Chain A
Amino acid sequence: MGSHGIKDRVAIIGMGCTRFAEHFDKGADELLVEAANEAFTSAGLDKDTVDAYWVGTAQSGMSGMTLSKPLELHDKPVTRVENMCATGAEALRQAAYAVASGAYDTAMAIGVEKVKDSGYQGLNAFPIPNDGTPRTLTAAAMFSMVVPAYADKYGVDPAELRRALARIASKNHYNGARNPRAQFRKETSVEQITAMPPVAGVLSVFDCAGVADGSAAAIVCRAEDAGRFTDRPVFVKALSLVAGNGRPLADPAYDYTTFPEIVACAADAYAQAGLTDPRRQLAMAEVHDCFTPTELVLMEDLGFCERGTAWKEVLAGAFDLHGDLPINPDGGLKSFGHPVGASGLRMLFECFVQLRGEAPPERQVDVSRGLALTHNLGGYPGEMVSFVSIVGTDGGR
């Protein structure tokens, strides 16, 4: 295969991330300026000394002017990218290839979403004119079908599985309570979560990521130039993307206990980064916990545990903040909400901060392994895009 990766050729030298919240007092413009300025300061650069920009947003702006206008950039190349919930990560991917190619010396990947101006509940996509036959089910309901399928396949008592899912949400809220940038900062117990009424299958509102506005940004350069900007660069080891073809939806053999796109994407990422045992080689991972059963399945699809055992590992605390492999130490989508364009970069921000030992003490995890993973998915079981990045402190040269 011709996917070679660009391991250790690109470094992240600065990052910024706004608080994620229902920012009724801020538009996309204000959020972009805030995240960009924080990243500029972090890297010791400014808007003129960054050579190229990629702005990720699903539906908060069209064209590169989404960024060039609020930032008042002068004659800069700016591209707006979208790849559903992997949009922010996609911006990083483009910026990384841009500097690796030698076309630019520094580039910014910035993501934003302003979801709270529509006045509607939930995350609603603006539909492209169609013949009226596509499904209109919510993502929560589509992912809810994982739950009985998983219980059935692995013989898990439904009440136990329900507790494991609540444990995932509770863990993420515990972490988010220790994060001033998170939307939700209250610890929530398993009992509180399991007592809530179902809204989609067995999932309650607390099994679902919230809805928030936010922005996050990263500045990258070639690895050999990183020393000019920071003495603690974070190197890009792998960038992997898979766009599904929807065939699992039509395949009677698809059993809703796995996301094939994730499996393929992770395999490519691990090959690029040279990882063979992610559970033991990663210090932490930020994964796309849009719904609690999603995070459950991701533990297996990303190879962090054996098939059918994630629920046990969750209940045993393996993925807790100070567990064997901390998952979503910043609180995840659960605590941050999901401004679509920003989430992928928000995840990278946590990896950046943690790997450099700059997280607040109440949230700093053991990063002696020196490697972190981010994962995003967009779409539904059977038809999704998947992105995985691996970053690390060791430049490998």
Chain B
Amino acid sequence: MRGILSHAGYLPYRRLDRAGIAAVAGTGGGRGTRTASSYDEDTTTMGVEAARLALRAAPGFSPAALVFSTTRPAYADKTNATAIHAALRLDPGVVAADQCGAVRSAVVSLRGALLSSEAVLVVAADERTGLPGGPDEAGGGDGASALAVGDDTDGPVLAEFLGSASATEEFLDRWRAPGEQRPRVWEERFGEGRYTALGEQAWEAALKRSGLEAGDVAHLIVTGTHTRAVATVARRLAGAAAVADELLTSVGQTGAAHPGLLFASVLDTAPPNRVIALVSLADGADVCFFRTTEALASFVPARPVATQVAGGGPLSYGKFLAWKGLLTVEPPRRPEPARVSASAAARRTPWKFGFVGSRSSDTGDIALPPAVAGAGGPLEDLPMADTQGRVATFTVDRLAYSPSPPVVFAVVDFDGGGRLPVELTDVDPDGIAIGDRVEMTFRRLSSADGIHNYFWKARPVRG
């Protein structure tokens, strides 16, 4: 039996209230909220967070490969999945590859993993926006998803893969020049027509291949960047199936991450023995069928999507624009950070990417960063990324350089020992107190000379 062994969605903490857009941009916005990645997040860091949640819920899952998809890779030329690989502390023998550039890439990665014979961690992340006042700004969302794919020798299968089919066609619905902020679309009725036909074509083929009838489907997930086409296709295919909430009024459309995010959301609450259909409309149509298993009933997601949807803190529209690079704010008169040294970083990859400290075998003393070998007694590696801690003291620095000042900073005492003074994130300057519980999160501290400085910060534990 082959299928999904673990699943997780990741939503960044901040929410932009769409009602705040029109007053500033002169147009646009709408009702509800959309998720907004923090100034210190990118698609790689969000991919790490989703992958961590998926692996935390299935600690026995050992992937042979990790595949990463996004329409906004942090690097071109350089593989982004290797940073995720390092943050997850995966074995060197595990392949880490990007399938980046297009919204469709994520679902195709999933299809590839399901049709392979390996254990694969399929990670997707995206940051979706457009020019101020436009529909992509209001309708987009930022987020990530991770799906662990394998067979029952890799762990309990939660959703059995029944079959899939695709329909591919070259037509222009949505496009963007690499590096450009602004996506462009052709007129909606054109794409709607194409997608409806392709969706039905792939659907029929997938049913046949899986040996299913349309009436067998209990949960229907339809996702894509063409909102009207998605709605039309969902109406046509649903029948008696429950159509999954696309999370458009709370999260927004998260591009490459959305199929996995919605799938994780459905799996969070689906009962066993139900057929789930995942339909993705992106430069064609891709349909996958799954059946949930008894094992799903005893699976506990690390952080359900609904919990994350219900959480979140407000973000002003001005800050949103500044964080998205659409509003250039005056920086402090301080030198910008120097670029990371590649050789220095390579010597400390487990610490920098994996948050691995050291423990003295003799005294039990924990060192963050790890102690220098040879100065004292023997040392053991100590992975600390999943250890929570407590704020011992903190401060707010309004002088230090930051992409989004002020810097909120705390001395964190970790459960079981170890202490690290570290920057906080996903928190307002007046929102922290001594004694608060915090957890570590993978973030991008800054960029210089085109090099992204990845490391860890602490953020409040919010369930």
Seen from chain A, the residues whose Cβ lies within 8 Å of a Cβ on chain B are 118-122, 124, 127, 129-133, 135-138, 140-142, 144-145, 148-149, 152, 198-201, 249-252, 254, 256, 382
Contacts and interface: CB of A to CB of B under 8 A. Distances in A.
A282 to B, nearest CB: 32
B385 to A, nearest CB: 14
Contacts of B422: 135
B338 A129 contact: yes
Interface of B: 332-335, 337-338, 340-341, 344-345, 347-348, 351-352, 365-369, 392-401, 407, 409, 411, 413, 417-423, 434, 445-446, 453-455
B396 A201 contact: yes
A200 B397 contact: yes
Contacts of A250: 365-368, 418-420
Contacts of A124: 334-335
Contact of A133 (B348, B397, B409): B348
Closest 7 CB pairs of A and B: A141-B397, A129-B341, A132-B453, A132-B340, A201-B395, A131-B345, A131-B344
A132 B448 CA distance: 11
A124 B399 CA distance: 11
A136 B337 contact: yes
Given A135-B421, A250-B367, A250-B368, A145 B344 contact: no
Contacts of B394: 145
Contacts of B333: 119-121
Contacts of B332: 121
A180 B140 CA distance: 63
Contact of A141 (B347, B399, B455): B399
A133 B396 contact: no
Nearest to A135: B421
B398 A198 contact: yes
Contacts of A252: 392, 413, 417-419
A149 B434 CA distance: 10
A249 B394 CA distance: 13
B344 A129 contact: yes
Contacts of A120: 333-335
Contacts of B446: 132
Contacts of A201: 395-397
Given A120-B334, A141-B409, A200-B395, A131 B347 contact: yes
B347 A137 contact: no
Given A200-B396, A250-B367, 14 more contacts: A118-B335, A121-B334, A129-B341, A131-B344, A132-B340, A132-B352, A133-B455, A140-B397, A140-B399, A141-B396, A148-B434, A199-B397, A201-B397, A256-B411
Contact of A131 (B352, B368, B397): B352
Contacts of A249: 419, 421
Contacts of A136: 337, 400-401, 407, 445
29 contacts: A119-B333, A120-B333, A120-B334, A124-B334, A129-B338, A130-B340, A130-B344, A131-B344, A131-B348, A132-B337, A132-B352, A132-B445, A132-B453, A135-B409, A136-B401, A137-B421, A137-B423, A141-B395, A141-B396, A141-B400, A144-B395, A149-B393, A199-B399, A200-B396, A249-B421, A250-B419, A252-B413, A252-B418, A382-B421
A138 B419 contact: no
Nearest to B414: A252
A137 B367 contact: no
Contacts of B344: 129-131
B347 A145 contact: no
**Interface core residue of A127, A138, A251, A254 (most chain B CB under 10 Å):** A138
A127 B401 CA distance: 14
A64 B334 CA distance: 30
Given A141-B400, A200-B396, A250-B366, A127 B409 contact: no
A140 B406 CA distance: 13
A129 B343 CA distance: 9
Given A120-B333, A124-B335, A141-B409, A130 B341 contact: yes
Contacts of B365: 250
Contacts of A129: 338, 341, 344
A290 to B, nearest CB: 13
Nearest to A146: B393
A251 B338 CA distance: 29
A26 B454 CA distance: 41
Nearest to B398: A199
Nearest to B401: A136
Nearest to B394: A145
A93 B400 CA distance: 33
Contacts of B366: 250
Contacts of A118: 335
A162 to B, nearest CB: 15
Contacts of A132: 337, 340-341, 345, 352, 445-446, 453-455
B338 to A, nearest CB: 5
A121 B366 CA distance: 36
Contact of B340 (A131, A138, A152, A251): A131
Contacts of A152: 434
A138 B397 contact: yes
Nearest to A148: B393
Contacts of B419: 249-252, 254
**Interface core residue of A130, A200, A249 (most chain B CB under 10 Å):** A200
Contacts of B401: 136
A188 to B, nearest CB: 20
B454 to A, nearest CB: 8
A145 B396 CA distance: 9
B407 A141 contact: yes
